[in-house]
Amino acid sequence: MIVDAHQHFWDPARGDYDWLKPDNPIHRVFGTADLRPLLVQAGVEAAILVQAAPTPAETDYMLGIARNTPFVLGVVGWVDLLAPDAAEEVRRRAADPLFLGLRPMLQDIPDPEWVLQPGLTPALNAVAAEGLVFDALILSHQLDAIAELARRHPQLSIVLDHAAKPRLGEAGAMAAWARGIEALAARPNVTCKVSGLLTELRPGGTRDDVVRGVGVLFDLFGPERLIWGSDWPVLTLSNCFVGAGDYQGWFELAREAVAAKDASAVGAVMGGNALRIYQPDKSRLGRHA
């Protein structure tokens, strides 16, 4: 099964997407009717819906969509990890089979070591105990903190979103990113998403820069710890080269980049690993539409 392990739906009128300003080209409703034909065109059979606002209300909004959308396998939502009842809230959410994991928006927090504070430990222990996934949305300068998080919580399944947003096409920045990624990849409880790369490509960057970036990830994480995702509709903001910002264009580029390293790994990266890591309800696997 081919799975898009990272996509979003939103309605700006809901009012909790603080980062999504009215002048942003993607400041509009994106729903299932927008994504479904793109999945069909690319041959993608299912998707995982990821949070885009740090509120319980948005998580409830996404779960409502998932319940009524056969191709959505589940949701990576949000929990206030510092709340006094955070561990209890994690356990409550985990009782819903559509709740697959959670994601604090770490890239927006000024302190790169925020995630390491002791106050988060009860919630993080609950995440691990419930078999949920911790999605790490970070920038490259936060890689060391996530490596330390993985060391402190070896039972916590961590998925690195968008490969920590490397500045593809900038040699110096890419060298530093690769060093940080290497240290993180040494932690066996960390998986990396091949997602969100096109919107990080610097001016003048090329397809080859993307392929090289995927190659670095493949060499460090291996074929069993990489997961493909579209990051749609943020993907549509990319206009770095013809076909880059459309869904099928990114799908084909990612698949080709993985196949260039190992053709036998394509099935795992483009779907199998997501099913193994996120563990959606098996009864939904045959309901894609």
**pLDDT for the residue 226:** 98
Is residue 181, in this structure, part of any structural domain at all? Answer: yes
Give the span between the Cα atoms of 48 and 8, in whole angstroms.
Answer: 8
- Mean pLDDT, the chain, whole residue set: 95
Asked, for residue 115, whether it belongs to a domain, the answer is yes
Please give the Cα distance from 26 to 24 (Å, whole number).
5
- Whether residue 41 is contained in a domain is answered as yes
Which tens digit of pLDDT belongs to each residue from 63-86?
999 999 999 999 999 999 999 999
What CATH number does residue 155 fall under?
3.20.20.140
183-216 confidence digits (pLDDT tens):
999 999 999 999 999 999 888 888 899 999 999 9
What b/e sequence results for 41-65 when a residue is b if at least 16 CB atoms lie within 10 Å of its CB, and e otherwise? ebebbbbbbbbbbbbbebbebbbee
- Asked whether the predicted pLDDT for residue 284 surpasses 90, the reply is no
Domain that holds residue 200: 3-284
- Answer whether residue 42 is part of any domain: yes
Residue 289 belongs to some domain of the structure: no
Measure the CA–CA gap between 173 and 53, rounded to whole angstroms: 28
> Could you report the per-residue pLDDT of 12-64, keeping only the tens digit for each?
999 999 999 999 999 999 999 999 999 999 999 999 999 999 999 999 999 99
Q: Looking at the domain assignment, is residue 16 inside a domain?
A: yes
pTM: 0.96
| Residue 274 domain flag | yes
Phi-psi region of 76 (alpha: psi -120 to 50; beta: other; left: phi over 0): beta
Contact 273, 226 (CB under 8 A): yes
Cα(282)–Cα(97) distance, integer angstroms: 10
Domain assignment present for 204: yes
Domain count within the chain? 1
- Beta-ladder partners of 7: 49, 232
